[in-house]
C-alpha cells in the first residue's frame, strides 16, 4: 500500500469546472493555473525527500485516470467555452511542461543519489590495515627431495610414486625377503588389522622397484620419493616415519662401473665437486653385491671433525647391484639384464648437509627453525 500523501492534491479545485469556480476571463484562467502551479511546487518540495512518497506524488499529478492533469483536461479544458478554450489549452500546456521538467529533474537527482549510495557501500577504504597472510618457504625435507630429484632427472631417471600401504608381498617377498628372513627384524612395521592378506605400512620405497618392473619392460631408470614407516622408538635420529628416495636402473649392459660412476656423480652434485666417495661392503637381501656409500666429510673435508666422529667419512646410503633373484619375481630375464639400486634416507641427508642435530626438529613445524633454510 503506497504511503499516504501529507497533502491531498488539489482535487477540490480540479473536480469542479472553471464555470463553477467563476473563472470566466483569460486573466482569471491564468491566475487559476498559477495557483495550481504554486500548489504543485509546494507539494513537490514536501514529497521529494523519500523515493516511495515521491512515486505516489507523481502518480497523483500525472496518473492517466485521476491525476490532476487528467482532471484539468476533463473538467477545465473539455467543457470550456469557445472564447476561453485557447487560453485554457495554452495554460494547460505550460503547466504540463513545467511539471514534466520538475519531475525529470527530480528523477535525475534520485538516480544520482542511488549511485552515490552504491558507491559509498562499495568503496574500499585504503586506509584500513590489510590482512597479512604469513607465507612460508619450502620445508627442508621438500627442498632436499627437490634437490635429489633434480640430480637424478638430469641423468635420465624419472620419478614414480607408489602406495604407502603395501602388501607383504611387495614390501618383503618380491624383494627377496621371505617370511622368516632375519632382515625382517630390522624392518618391523605397522600392520593394518582386518585387511585381506595383512596390509602394512611400507618399510621402504623399494616395493616400487617391483611394481614398476611388473608394469614395464626394461630399460628402467626410476627414482621413488616418498614416506616410509618403521616401528622405531622415537629419539634424536629415529622416528616411526621418515622419507626415502629409492633408485633403480636396469638394462642389458649395466655394469658395476655404471653403478659406481652414478654414485660418484650424485655425491659430487649433492656435496660439492671436492667430495670423494667410498664404497664399503654391506648386505641387503635384494642387492648383490651390496655396499654402503660413504663420502668425505663435507664439514672438515676429510681431515676429521666432530660431525664425522674424526673419521673423515660420513655414511650416506645403501646401494648395490640388483640381486638376480629379484628379476625372477617380475619375469625379467636375469641372464640378459643387470642393474643397480639404492635407497637414501632423505631426512638423514638433509640433517647431515644442513647441520641439523635432532630429527624431531624436522617435524615440529616451528617457523623459527624452518626460516633458517630459505
Q: What is the rounded CA–CA span in Å between residue 253 and residue 337? A: 7
- Shortest Cβ distance from residue 317 to Zn ion (Å)? 18
Residue tagged 638430469 (cell numbers): 154
Residues in region 228-247 near Zn ion by CB under 5 A = none
Using rule CB under 5 A, residue 307 touches Zn ion: yes
User: Residue 343 burial (CB < 10 Å; 0-12/13-18/19+)?
Assistant: buried
Q: What is the rounded CA–CA span in Å between residue 1 and residue 45? A: 22
- Using the contact rule CB under 5 A, the part of the chain among 6-14, 50-58, 228-236, 294-302 near Zn ion is 294-302
Q: Which is nearer to Zn ion, 60 or 297 (CB)?
A: 297
The cell numbers describing 106, all together, are 527530480
Using rule CB under 5 A, residue 305 touches Zn ion: yes
Q: x/- binding map, residues 180-199, to Zn ion, per CB under 5 A?
A: --------------------
- Shortest Cβ distance from residue 271 to Zn ion (Å)? 12
Using rule CB under 5 A, residue 297 touches Zn ion: yes
Q: What is the rounded CA–CA span in Å between residue 210 and residue 205? A: 10
H/E segment holding residue 107: helix 82-122
Candidates 5, 59, 159, 300; binder of Zn ion (CB under 5 A) is: 300
Using rule CB under 5 A, residue 313 touches Zn ion: no
Q: Which is nearer to Zn ion, 176 or 296 (CB)?
A: 296
- Look at residues 306, 294, 300 and name the one whose alpha carbon lies nearest to residue 348: 294
Residue tagged 630399460 (cell numbers): 219
Q: Which is nearer to Zn ion, 141 or 300 (CB)?
A: 300
- Using the contact rule CB under 5 A, the part of the chain among 11-19, 100-108, 216-224, 298-306 near Zn ion is 298-306
- Look at residues 274, 237, 259, 251 and name the one whose alpha carbon lies nearest to residue 351: 237
- Using the contact rule CB under 5 A, the part of the chain among 18-26, 200-208, 237-245, 301-309 near Zn ion is 301-309
Candidates 59, 141, 183, 299; binder of Zn ion (CB under 5 A) is: 299
- Shortest Cβ distance from residue 303 to Zn ion (Å)? 7
- What are the DSSP E strand ranges found in 100-193? 158-159, 165-166, 191-192
- Using the contact rule CB under 5 A, the part of the chain among 129-137, 289-297, 334-342, 359-367 near Zn ion is 289-297
Residue tagged 621413488 (cell numbers): 224
Q: x/- binding map, residues 24-63, to Zn ion, per CB under 5 A?
A: ----------------------------------------
Phi, psi torsion values for 253, nearest 5 degrees: -135, 35
- Shortest Cβ distance from residue 348 to Zn ion (Å)? 16
Alpha carbon separation from 282 to 165, 228, 288, 317, 369 (Å, rounded) = 28, 22, 9, 11, 35
Q: Which is nearer to Zn ion, 61 or 270 (CB)?
A: 270
Q: Which residues bind Zn ion (CB under 5 A)?
A: 297, 299-300, 305, 307-308
Amino acid at each position: 500500500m503506497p504511503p499516504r500523501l501529507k497533502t491531498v492534491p488539489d482535487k477540490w479545485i480540479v473536480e469542479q469546472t472553471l464555470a463553477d469556480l467563476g473563472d470566466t476571463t483569460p486573466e482569471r484562467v491564468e491566475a487559476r493555473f498559477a495557483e495550481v502551479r504554486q500548489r504543485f511546487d509546494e507539494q513537490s518540495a514536501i514529497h521529494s525527500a523519500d523515493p516511495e512518497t515521491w512515486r505516489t506524488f507523481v502518480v497523483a499529478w500525472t496518473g492517466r485516470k485521476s491525476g490532476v492533469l487528467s482532471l484539468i483536461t476533463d473538467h477545465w479544458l473539455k467543457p470550456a467555452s469557445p472564447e476561453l478554450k485557447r487560453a485554457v489549452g495554452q495554460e494547460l500546456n505550460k503547466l504540463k511542461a513545467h511539471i514534466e521538467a520538475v519531475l525529470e529533474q527530480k528523477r535525475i537527482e534520485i538516480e544520482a543519489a542511488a549511485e552515490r549510495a552504491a558507491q559509498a557501500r562499495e568503496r574500499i577504504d585504503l586506509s584500513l590495515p590489510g590482512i597479512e597472510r604469513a607465507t612460508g618457504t619450502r620445508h627442508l625435507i621438500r627442498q632436499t627431495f627437490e634437490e635429489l630429484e633434480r640430480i637424478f632427472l638430469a641423468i635420465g631417471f624419472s620419478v614414480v610414486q607408489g602406495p604407502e600401504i603395501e602388501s607383504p608381498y611387495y614390501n618383503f617377498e618380491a624383494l627377496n625377503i621371505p617370511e622368516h628372513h632375519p632382515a625382517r627384524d630390522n624392518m618391523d612395521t605397522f600392520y593394518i588389522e582386518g585387511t585381506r592378506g595383512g596390509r602394512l605400512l611400507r618399510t621402504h620405497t623399494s616395493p616400487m622397484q617391483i611394481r614398476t618392473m611388473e608394469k614395464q619392460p626394461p630399460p628402467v631408470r626410476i627414482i621413488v620419493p616418498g614416506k616410509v614407516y618403521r616401528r622405531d622408538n622415537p629419539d634424536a635420529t629415529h622416528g616411526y616415519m621418515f622419507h626415502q628416495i629409492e633408485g633403480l636402473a636396469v638394462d642389458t649392459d649395466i655394469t658395476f662401473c655404471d653403478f659406481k660412476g652414478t654414485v660418484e656423480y650424485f655425491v659430487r652434485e649433492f656435496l660439492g665437486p671436492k667430495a670423494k666417495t667410498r664404497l664399503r661392503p654391506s648386505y641387503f637381501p635384494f642387492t648383490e653385491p651390496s655396499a654402503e656409500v660413504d663420502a668425505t666429510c663435507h664439514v672438515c673435508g676429510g681431515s676429521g671433525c666432530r660431525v664425522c666422529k674424526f673419521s673423515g667419512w660420513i655414511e650416506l646410503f645403501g646401494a648395490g647391484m640388483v640381486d638376480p633373484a629379484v628379476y625372477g619375481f617380475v619375469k625379467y630375464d636375469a641372464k640378459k639384464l643387470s642393474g643397480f639400486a639404492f635407497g637414501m634416507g632423505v631426512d638423514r641427508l638433509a640433517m647431515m648437509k644442513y647441520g641439523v642435530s635432532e630429527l624431531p626438529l624436522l617435524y615440529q613445524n616451528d617457523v623459527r627453525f624452518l626460516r633458517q633454510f630459505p
